[in-house]
Amino acid sequence: MNQTYFLDDRQFYKIEDLAAYYDSPEFEQRYTYYGTDLGASYTPRQTTFKVWAPGADAVSVCLYEKGRMSEDASDRHGENETVPAPDCQRKIPLKKDEDHPGVFSVSVAGNLKNTFYTYLVERASSVEETADLYAKACGVNGYRSMVVDLRDTDPKGWNKDSYRFRKPSTDAIIWETHIRDFSIDRHSGMKYKGKYLAFTERGTTLNNDGIHPTGTAYLQQLGITHVHLMPVFDFATVNEERPQDEQYNWGYDPINWNCPEGSYSTNPEKGAVRIFEMKRMVLALHQAGIGVIMDVVYNHTYRTEDSYQQKTVPFYYYRTVGGKGEGDSESTHFANGSGCGNEIATERSMMRLYLLDSIRYWAEEYHVDGFRFDLMGLIDVQTMNEVRTMLDEIGKKNGKHYLIYGEPWAASQAALKEPAIPADMRHLADLSDDIAVFSDQTRDAIKGSAFEKTSPGFINGGLGKECAIVDAVRGQVKPGGAMRSSQTITYASSHDNFTLWDKIALTVKGDGSGFDSPEMLRLADNKLSAAIVLTSQGIPFFQSGEEFGRSKYSIGNSYNSDSRINELKWERTVVFRELKDYYEGLIRIRKSFSPFRDDTSRTAHNICICAAENQVVAYTIPGKRKGEPVMMAVCFNASCESRFVDLKAPDGVKLPTEWDILANEKTAGVQPITSVSGTRMMVYLRGVLIAASKEKIS
């Protein structure tokens, strides 16, 4: 990194000095560009290319017929590189925009639809060929950008897409999945295995048996409200040129933030196909009444020194540490709070604007309904709050309520400088109360530490977890915790770490055997977990297949394991039918009783804890709406013997004495299983009891 950088007739010999200039109000005022036309703006008569590259001496656009680079070219690095690549057809210089320092642009006449392009960015010490950071389409593997006519990519019925999720956020029930996992199983009954289009297939069944639904039809029956898709923007670690190979990656390695991933499309060579097919997927889910959440990774990029960000504006998009008087190292280097080689400087104005524009683009162009921010603890609070404000503004126009949530942590300390503050667990009070965070406290209280294989939580025999479960029930609404329940994602499992079933298998028997059999005690533990997640305050979330005992055979970090480990094994919906039905029933119960879904802090405070000791937690919760039971009672018994619980009511509320049992250790649903009188409930060992007062609110 011993280069000299020039900017505004200044010379920067040290990266820390350059970074300090980027952080200065002087730079921000001079260079921040508020236009929304960066990238390639297409019309049939001309295409305008616009680049933000302060300090560049010259920028040119290189046009290509092919999106694919030769194998040799795609491996090129640094000095041996010849730019542009030999198959460049035209090289057109961009002009400096006199009104907007740092901006370069050119309009190229003619119809450039589906033309591939790159930029050449020239600086005193280097010439770099790079894809367009702002590209909306790209060629195979994302090395070259593509001019696209987005109106060509709209599926039939796109303008009539009428899906609207409305407030509150706590009405959502989120099911997290991965495009490939969803359909790749040979028993899935889906044709487009591993592709976006699998979500568009209707009426699919297990082994095409015509009886057991799979895919989108299955989701409708399950009753979840949103599918959360692990990364679907263009990522690096699956070679799109080799679709015939068994390749797998979760996809947390972005290269083009505004293009869909090509390997999930039927033709990654043609840049418009992946856009069209992703839109078809969104539309099909919307038609099934299901919202779509994108898992977005703006906290780092896959590449660092040779990323498009770094080639376009060196060191602007990344935080740096070290240098004189800072840290241990003499030399400045990329900060690495992501654990993936870098971290993005979201606090800098053009990166913040980029992130906002990118979110707006996915929301408006792709009709996406929510966003899950990976390692949100690396993003600054102001940026996150501006995302909330912007999506609320869009929602005012289209009637939608967008979900926003994220991981309130980083892989290691964020290199964010004051006054910027990270959107992490310690700063919930500064974060919008309608941005939710994953509660690792809830997760670990339920099933035990995510990192210690055999350490149990409440459901699998852990002792002393009762108070932590009470916090979970209240959606972590407490001093120093969430301000409202809309700020909490209540969950027991996600793609990270062991699946819930594996964790139970590892803790209950210790040897981790029998991942495939629905053994009774484990089923009981799993049901307990589901009942806690689906009755607690906050936004319930679960990993796809949690409801049918999904196993990854004790592999926690399966980010590049093959599909046999990661795929949803649809036969388990039959083998674990009792468990799947139980989730379905709990979802119905949650939907039927509004206090479970209160997005304020009121219900969290109104809950009356009846028991929180000896592996039993029980509470009552008053109804709110006309027609609802005046009260529900929810009891969890994680002990190995049946227990009695004496119900209590919140102060000033009469305790009902006639109850319908909606859920017990066997089944759950809105149809009463049986009725009981009195205020003493017997809860079966490792069992659940959910009772609704017979009396309704009139």
Given the rule CB under 5 A, which residues bind Ca ion? 234, 261-262
Nearest alpha carbon to residue 134 among 60, 50, 192: 50
Q: Which is nearer to Ca ion, 262 or 687 (CB)?
A: 262
Q: Are 414 and 337 in contact (CB under 8 A)?
A: yes
CB of 249 to Ca ion, least distance (A): 9
For 14, residues 6+ apart whose C-beta sits below 8 A from its C-beta are 323, 324, 332
CB of 237 to Ca ion, least distance (A): 8
CB of 275 to Ca ion, least distance (A): 14
Cα R_g (the chain), whole angstroms: 27
CB of 262 to Ca ion, least distance (A): 5
> How far is CA 412 from each of CA 298, 326, 493, rounded to the nearest angstrom?
16, 17, 22
CB of 113 to Ca ion, least distance (A): 22
CB of 144 to Ca ion, least distance (A): 12
- Give kind and range of the element (H or E) at residue 382: helix 381-398
Peptide linkage before 419 cis (omega within 30 of 0): yes
Distance of alpha carbon 689 from alpha carbon 124, whole angstroms: 72
Distance of alpha carbon 175 from alpha carbon 224, whole angstroms: 7
Options 407, 424, 525, 665, the catalytic residue? 407
Three-class DSSP category at 127:
strand
Q: Which is nearer to Ca ion, 201 or 261 (CB)?
A: 261
Three-class DSSP category at 133:
coil
Options 374, 380, 424, 599, the catalytic residue? 374
Q: Are 507 and 448 in contact (CB under 8 A)?
A: yes
Q: Cα 537 to the chain's mean position, in Å?
A: 20
Residue in this structure with the two tokens 């319930």, named with its chain if needed: 540
**Burial zone of 521 (CB within 10 Å; 0-12 exposed, 13-18 middle, 19+ buried):** middle
CB of 264 to Ca ion, least distance (A): 9
Distance of alpha carbon 540 from alpha carbon 173, whole angstroms: 5
Report the residue count for the chain: 698
Q: Which is nearer to Ca ion, 141 or 558 (CB)?
A: 141
Is 374 an annotated catalytic residue?
Answer: yes
Q: Which is nearer to Ca ion, 265 or 615 (CB)?
A: 265
Residue nearest Ca ion (C-beta atom) = 234
Q: Which is nearer to Ca ion, 274 or 484 (CB)?
A: 274
Is 407 an annotated catalytic residue?
Answer: yes
Distance of alpha carbon 1 from alpha carbon 531, whole angstroms: 54
Distance of alpha carbon 648 from alpha carbon 529, whole angstroms: 23
Q: Which is nearer to Ca ion, 64 or 659 (CB)?
A: 64
φ, ψ dihedrals at 354, nearest 5°: -60, -50
The DSSP secondary-structure symbol of 576 reads: T
Q: Which is nearer to Ca ion, 231 or 481 (CB)?
A: 231
CB of 516 to Ca ion, least distance (A): 33
Q: Which is nearer to Ca ion, 132 or 466 (CB)?
A: 132
Q: List, by residue number, the catalytic residues.
A: 374, 407
